[in-house]
Amino acid sequence: MVEPKINLPEKTNYGLTAAARRDLPLGFGMALAQNEPAMKKFESLSESEKAAFVEKTHSVNSKSEMQKLVDSLTHGLVF
């Protein structure tokens, strides 16, 4: 399943460069925006950790799977 990409406003940068923000899957950006602790954790990751996490989003097939993946950031299950 290929998700549309989202252009996030400059104010919400998730600790990413503008080019990296353009490549965020829409569902991931939305799920992250709804979970502030996960957003803060994602922002604190290194660039390579962020890239690896975003890569995992490409295998997600549903909204609930995406939410679980984003939630895993705050439960220490991903890295």
Give backbone dihedrals phi and psi of 35, rounded to 5 degrees, phi first: -135, 90
pLDDT at 41: 93
Number of domains in the chain: 1
Residue 42: inside a domain, yes or no?
yes
pTM of structure = 0.70
Within a domain: residue 71?
yes
Does any domain span residue 22? Answer: yes
**H helical segments located in the chain:** 18-22, 26-33, 36-44, 47-57, 63-75
Give a yes or no: residue 27 inside a domain.
Answer: yes
In a domain, 6, yes or no: no
Structural domain for 55, as ranges? 18-75
Give the pLDDT of residue 18: 62
User: Residue 51 has what pLDDT?
Assistant: 87
- At residue 21, the pLDDT reads 61
Does residue 12 lie within any of the structural domains?
no
Give the pLDDT confidence score for residue 11 in this predicted structure: 46
pLDDT per residue as tens, the chain (79 positions): 566 665 554 445 666 666 566 678 889 999 999 999 999 999 899 988 988 999 999 999 999 999 999 999 998 755 4
Whether residue 63 lies inside any domain: the answer is yes
